[in-house]
Structure 1
Amino acid sequence: MKMTAYQATYDGTMEYVCNLSARLFKSSNIFEHRINDHWVLFAPDWPGFPVVVNDWVHRVLDRFQEGSLVSDVLSELQTNQSLQESFDATFPTISFLEERGFLRDAPSCLPYQVPTGNSTAKPHYFGVWLHINNNCNLACSYCFVKEKSHTAMSTEVIRSTARAIANTAKLYGVKRVGLKFAGGEPTLVVPLMETFQDLLLEELRGTDVELHTAVLSNGTILNQRLLSFLKRPNTCIGISLDGYGTSHDIFRVFKNSRKGSWKTIMQNIEILREHSITPFIMATISAETNKSLPQLVKWIYRNNFKTRLSVVRQPNCSWNCSSQQVHEYKLLCDTMKDAFERAFVELEDPSFLIDLRVALRICELHFENPANGVPCGIGETHLVIKPNGNLARCPMTIDETGVAPSNDLLSSCRECFTYSFSQRKYESLDDECLNCKWFPVCAGGCPITNLRINGHPFTKSPLCDFYKYIIPRYLIFFGRKLLHAADKAEHMQPSIIKKSIIY
């Protein structure tokens, strides 16, 4: 017999450490799904993507169902003639299961205990959504910016904002700042992006803080100055696509001609790749654009693009609130479940190989790292800054007045926004949420959407029905692709699949 485990990984190291005298318990919250003679395992409240193990590993896991000493299980398996397993195989198996959160040092049970937040916590990283301008050359009906104008950050605001970001980074001792230029359409103001990045780098001079910059673009504008900017160190571009081909063109039309933007974007992506610039893809899927979702995700995977798929926050692609919204969200959930199922079925074709390091990111869901009751990082690890320098609580509320900045931007967010890290309260959270296996993955969903629909940011998401479908379905998909890749490992890069066999 042997222990076999498959997982997506970025390195080839595997260290086995386990306390022989420890009493371990199989987590009651893990997801288990059988695929032929293997099992997909995932611990929602533990860091890491799903793994696939063989039947023998799963049987070892089950030995700890009621809690067992590691030494007892080792002795039992060594003396059991039907299994004939040696210490050399069993010990690393137990260590592997403990490392991935499938074995715990205490029984795990529901409901989940939600952390109350710690306003003094210091992150190692924080991201800044910098809304540098309002103007745009497209006219998307669901845009966060209701009133388009030629408003853009002034030189004075750029200087003060760059200084405030640097001061916040120094105050918290962060090692990395992620700067996202957004709008409007930020590629309309490349000189402003250049100036802001230059000033921020100057403010960070002499520190060990790394600056990583992303331009969040509609992908329709490309010129030599933008190409030069994107070739700067640690600078990249994200492009919005809402569907494949004509589906994308339903909403993403040019402001003046009202013609679709798909063809222009495809041409620009090819030019970017000719310059060795690989964009990441941001897709917003709606009831109107979902039909092309299978084509879109296959195109994304085939080109090895990183991506995030979001579901439109308002079912009718607008910000007009109505008493029918709950019903509209129910219809949207049904539509999205059907669309994603069609996409998964096509992607699960064994002949369609996928680099699992380029995993789909879906909505606000936290697959790789549990949310710990925090669906949104505003005030903890993220900031949103308006063109006038004020802080906003979300890119979706960019038209609100916001609050004045300070030299501690994270603290300002925590103090002023009711769903910030230090003020998260779950008294209104449905018991169904805390008793749901998937709560660490969704954490109740987007606080702004919940606030608009339910009147409180910490309530059951109107997309709950979709989450309960997509989370386990994505895990099964991931497991199947792990097995497909393992079967054809000779065609894959070694770092993609780790196959551990101990005889």
Structure 2
Amino acid sequence: MIHLYQNNGYNIVLDVNSGAVHVVDQAAYDVIGVLEKQNEFHTPETLREPETAADLKKELGSRYGEEDIEDILEAVITLTEEGRLFTRDVYEDFIDEVKQRKTVVKALCLHIAHDCNLACKYCFAEEGEYHGRRALMSFEVGKKALDFLIANSGKRRNLEVDFFGGEPLMNWQVVKDLVAYGREQEKIHDKHFRFTLTTNGVLLNDEVQEFVNREMDNVVLSLDGRKEVNDKMRPFRNGKGSYDLIVPKFQKLAESRNQQKYYIRGTFTRNNLDFSKDVLHFADLGFEQISIEPVVGEDTDAYAIRREDLPVIFEEYDRLAKIMVDREKEGRGFTFFHFMIDLEGGPCVSKRLSGCGSGTEYLAVTPWGDLYPCHQFVGQEEFLMGNVDDGITKPEIADEFRGCSVYSKESCKKCFARFYCSGGCMANSYKFHHTINDTYEVSCEMERKRVECAIMIKAALADQESAE
């Protein structure tokens, strides 16, 4: 499978199954495009057939000389022999192995607080309540959760725990106590905990910052961008905006972490389809690790993104990608999470095929100890998998999630981005189609554009390095 596209003056050819990326001139771009239309399963043998060259000359002879076409075809044959063009899909052969893997948990999302001090209008957690009641996790429940993680982690040494909410700083003492307990258990069980924290920053202070910098491998800082954008969607319950209080705290924390091991994370909605300005606003505030994600909402929600918004969103991603290239050249570069892509190695096979590991490797824990496949399923009783006292009591739910992959979703099979998004978010699929084995197409369209932009950025920066 080949994906060809043009972006920011670059002609890019992606060989989907191998992940090889080729930046080519217009003639090679056109030749490969004709070959792809002829037969997406070309081999060196089919490429050498006289009819192949004849068809190319018939199709492109008015634009390019016969010798040029022959030279390009020979180069394509060489790349195909090397396994970098027109490669076959070898990953599907591994899908049965992925399905048969045992449930070995490596990460927990601890809902340390089902309560929040903001009233974000798009919050899927209903201001922290998660279809249920407000509650704070006790130390005893959190301790059992860490014990459950250790007991079900098999031979994995590195384990991940995200303190999530609601707002976790509303239960700060329990966060500190659980980190201390985790550090004790590391020595006993030869494990290592990678703790993270997601916070809106309202209760952030010097004491919290000092502890976070000592104990947390990563911190997610929630803010939506420009003051007017943030305060419209992320107010306090009295309607007052949160921007002025939070921004100085986040700037101080980011600097104290040397602009590493954190993300400032926003959500863009239909109210700010010009979200590239919010990304650049973050960069101009001094933040270097940035993420702004599209909201997921019902069509009846005024802020929800609709299919007709996609052309504007695509333009924004293109605009942002070009500006990022320019700023990198000027020495003012920053990281945008959704444009991060590894063209050298990338994730392991199982992650390419089945994604985040929700329901199998990754689970969410409520304040009272219930286990769900991930934080977005919390409160939906059909996905209640068990609890920290009894463990997983409904293994059939884990089996269902384990069977979900890019090969169980029809729309993924012909999608060039499938090995980058790994089939997309299962919670979004369930939200819109009532099955985890489907995709949310609006999100898919945005992901495809992000992948194209990310590859273009890599091409542009490589071009810059070669010019130097």
What secondary structure sits across from 2:136 in the alignment?
coil
Cα offset, 1:34, TM superposition: 4.9
Within the candidate set 144, 147, 167, 2:151 is matched to 167
AA at the equivalent of 1:305: E
Partners of 1:345 and 1:427 in 2: CA distance: 33
CA contact (8 A) 1:438 1:468 kept: no
CA contact (8 A) 2:41 2:86 kept: no
Higher helix share: 2
Within the candidate set 292, 308, 313, 1:334 is matched to 308
Deviation readout 1:468-501 (Å, 9 max, x if unpaired)? 3541x33443344334434554xxxxxxxxx599
Q: How many residues align?
A: 421
Shift in CA distance, 346/167, structure 1 to aligned 2, threshold 3 Å: closer
CA contact (8 A) 1:337 1:469 kept: no
Match of 1:387 in 2: 367
Partners of 1:273 and 1:359 in 2: CA distance: 15
Within the candidate set 121, 124, 136, 1:152 is matched to 136
AA at the equivalent of 1:385: V
1:474 counterpart = 2:443: no
Cα offset, 1:216, TM superposition: 0.5
What secondary structure sits across from 1:283 in the alignment?
strand
CA contact (8 A) 2:8 2:456 kept: no
What secondary structure sits across from 2:327 in the alignment?
coil
Partners of 1:239 and 1:264 in 2: CA distance: 13
Deviation readout 1:210-246 (Å, 9 max, x if unpaired)? 3211111112221122112112145331012234221
RMSD between superposed Cα atoms in Å: 4.5
What secondary structure sits across from 2:106 in the alignment?
strand
What secondary structure sits across from 1:383 in the alignment?
strand
CA contact (8 A) 2:160 2:194 kept: yes
CA contact (8 A) 1:40 1:51 kept: yes
Partners of 2:317 and 2:311 in 1: CA distance: 10
Shift in CA distance, 44/262, structure 1 to aligned 2, threshold 3 Å: farther
Partners of 1:96 and 1:221 in 2: CA distance: 59
1:137 counterpart = 2:117: yes
CA contact (8 A) 2:327 2:333 kept: no
1:182 counterpart = 2:164: yes
Highest RCO, 1 vs 2 (Cα 8 Å, sep ≥ 6)? 1
CA contact (8 A) 2:15 2:86 kept: no
Shift in CA distance, 160/334, structure 1 to aligned 2, threshold 3 Å: same
Identity %: 17
Match of 2:44 in 1: 68
Partners of 1:35 and 1:404 in 2: CA distance: 48
CA contact (8 A) 1:114 1:372 kept: no
CA contact (8 A) 1:115 1:372 kept: no
CA contact (8 A) 2:235 2:241 kept: yes
1:283 counterpart = 2:266: yes
1:239 counterpart = 2:211: no
Cα offset, 1:97, TM superposition: 6.2
Deviation readout 1:108-139 (Å, 9 max, x if unpaired)? 49x9779254343476x822111011121101
CA contact (8 A) 2:125 2:166 kept: yes
Deviation readout 1:20-76 (Å, 9 max, x if unpaired)? xxxxxxxxx1323356996434344456xx7454559979x979984339xx9xxxx
CA contact (8 A) 1:378 1:413 kept: no
Shift in CA distance, 296/168, structure 1 to aligned 2, threshold 3 Å: same
What secondary structure sits across from 1:361 in the alignment?
helix
AA at the equivalent of 1:40: I
What secondary structure sits across from 2:387 in the alignment?
coil
Partners of 1:37 and 1:281 in 2: CA distance: 31
Shift in CA distance, 312/56, structure 1 to aligned 2, threshold 3 Å: closer
What secondary structure sits across from 1:178 in the alignment?
strand
CA contact (8 A) 1:52 1:479 kept: no
Match of 2:61 in 1: none
Deviation readout 1:441-471 (Å, 9 max, x if unpaired)? 4455332332232232212x34x14523541
Match of 1:264 in 2: 245
AA at the equivalent of 1:478: A
CA contact (8 A) 1:250 1:289 kept: no
Partners of 2:21 and 2:334 in 1: CA distance: 13
Match of 1:9 in 2: none
Shift in CA distance, 343/54, structure 1 to aligned 2, threshold 3 Å: closer
Partners of 1:224 and 1:153 in 2: CA distance: 24
Partners of 1:67 and 1:122 in 2: CA distance: 39
Cα offset, 1:94, TM superposition: 5.5
1:449 counterpart = 2:428: yes
Cα offset, 1:353, TM superposition: 2.0
1:352 counterpart = 2:324: no
Cα offset, 1:192, TM superposition: 0.9
CA contact (8 A) 1:254 1:260 kept: yes
Structure 2 unaligned regions, length at least 5: 49-66
CA contact (8 A) 2:407 2:413 kept: no
Cα offset, 1:351, TM superposition: 2.9
Please give the residue correspondences for 1:3-82 in structure 2 after superposition, counting only pairs within 5 Å. Answer: 29-34=1-6, 39-46=11-18, 51=21, 53-55=23-25, 66-68=42-44
1:212 counterpart = 2:200: no
AA at the equivalent of 1:360: F
CA contact (8 A) 1:429 1:458 kept: yes
Shift in CA distance, 273/452, structure 1 to aligned 2, threshold 3 Å: closer
Cα offset, 1:400, TM superposition: 3.8
AA at the equivalent of 1:342: E
Cα offset, 1:388, TM superposition: 0.9
1:249 counterpart = 2:231: yes
Partners of 2:8 and 2:311 in 1: CA distance: 25
CA contact (8 A) 1:219 1:239 kept: yes
What secondary structure sits across from 1:313 in the alignment?
coil
Cα offset, 1:247, TM superposition: 0.9
Cα offset, 1:154, TM superposition: 1.4
What secondary structure sits across from 2:450 in the alignment?
helix
Cα offset, 1:157, TM superposition: 1.0
CA contact (8 A) 1:31 1:41 kept: yes
| TM-score, scaled relative to structure 2 | 0.73
1:305 counterpart = 2:288: yes
Shift in CA distance, 201/397, structure 1 to aligned 2, threshold 3 Å: same
